[in-house]
A and B are shown apart, each in its own frame.
Chain A
Amino acid sequence: MVLLQPDPFLNELTSMFEHSTEKGTVWVTLKRSSLKSKVQRNKMAAAGEPLEYRCLIRATNGKKTISTSVGPKDHQRFQASYATILKAHMTSLKKRERKDKKKVAGADKKEGGSKKPKRA
């Protein structure tokens, strides 16, 4: 398990997505963690020090795992870059054409029942 800084992590994540287009999966896990062991946590709690939590992000393609941790100050910048990477790579999901093309016989509109058909 490789622990990286946020920026190299994003680069590695990008290459993971690129390598798994034909075959393979990318898993990304988000969890809150203080990155300290239980012993340290108990000590800090006893001493009255506030625990500092960070967001732990892990990514794997089944073979390799990378991770990084993001604190409250850098999380907004990280989430913007992360969103960009996801948007750029999640291209194989189906696009819905609802209001754009009424001419389409409704075959596409019926897919994905989360939005109701508008034209009654």
Chain B
Amino acid sequence: MVYITSWDEFVERSAQLFRADPDSTRYVMKYRHCDGKLVLKVTDNKECLKFKTDQAQDAKKMEKLNNIFFTLMSRGPDADVSKLQGKNRQKHNQGKEGEGNNSFVGC
């Protein structure tokens, strides 16, 4: 079981995993309030990706990922989630390069 450290990588690979096999890929979320921990898992029963955190900011990112999965699962793997992912990336990059807002132009 692989714990992924980068959120973006986790999102990319999970979306890829789902598109490759939509019928057997599932997304699991485990939350323990007493420990303050959140673990996300995406697996197609062959490969497994996990992400764990105790940060509130990751809960917000997880909500976006939830939206992506809801859309993909109810509409089908060909659904357009580029808007959802695009927003995520833009915000993330602006956060990293806060000194110069002009350096990254949105895709």
A contacts, CB < 8 Å to B: 17, 20-33, 53-55, 70-72, 75-76, 78-79, 82-83, 86-87, 89-96, 99, 111-116, 118
A96 engages B56 (CB within 8 Å): yes
Cβ–Cβ contact B38 & A54, under 8 A: no
Q: Which residues in B have their C-beta under 8 angstroms from that of A91? A: 33
**Cα of A90 to Cα of B5 in the assembled complex, Å:** 21
* Residue with the greatest number of chain B CB neighbours at <10 A, chosen from A21, A70, A90, A112: A90
**Measured between alpha carbons, how far is A79 from B95 in the docked complex, in Å?**
26
Residues 63-103 of B at the A interface (beta carbon under 8 Å): 63, 66-67, 69-76, 95-96, 98-99
Interface, chain B (partner A; CB < 8 A): 5-7, 22-23, 25-36, 38, 53-59, 62-63, 66-67, 69-76, 95-96, 98-99
Which residues of B sit under 8 angstroms from A21, Cβ to Cβ?
33-34
| Contact among B23, B34, B76 for A24, CB-based, below 8 A | B34
Chain A residues, CB < 8 A from B29? 27-30
CB distance from A79 to the nearest CB of B (A): 5
B26 touches A29 (CB 8 A): yes
B63/A87 in contact, CB under 8 A:
yes
List B contacts of A99 (CB < 8 A).
Answer: 98
| B62 cross-chain contacts in A, Cβ below 8 A | 86
In the complex the two chains form, is A25's CB within 8 Å of B30's CB?
Answer: yes
B38 partner, pick from A22, A93, A118, beta carbons under 8 A = A93
Please give me the 4 A-B residue pairs with the lowest Cβ-Cβ distance, nearest first.
A55-B73, A92-B36, A32-B73, A31-B26
Chain B residues whose CB sits within 8 angstroms of the CB of A116 once the complex forms? 96
Partner of B96, one of A92, A94, A115: A115
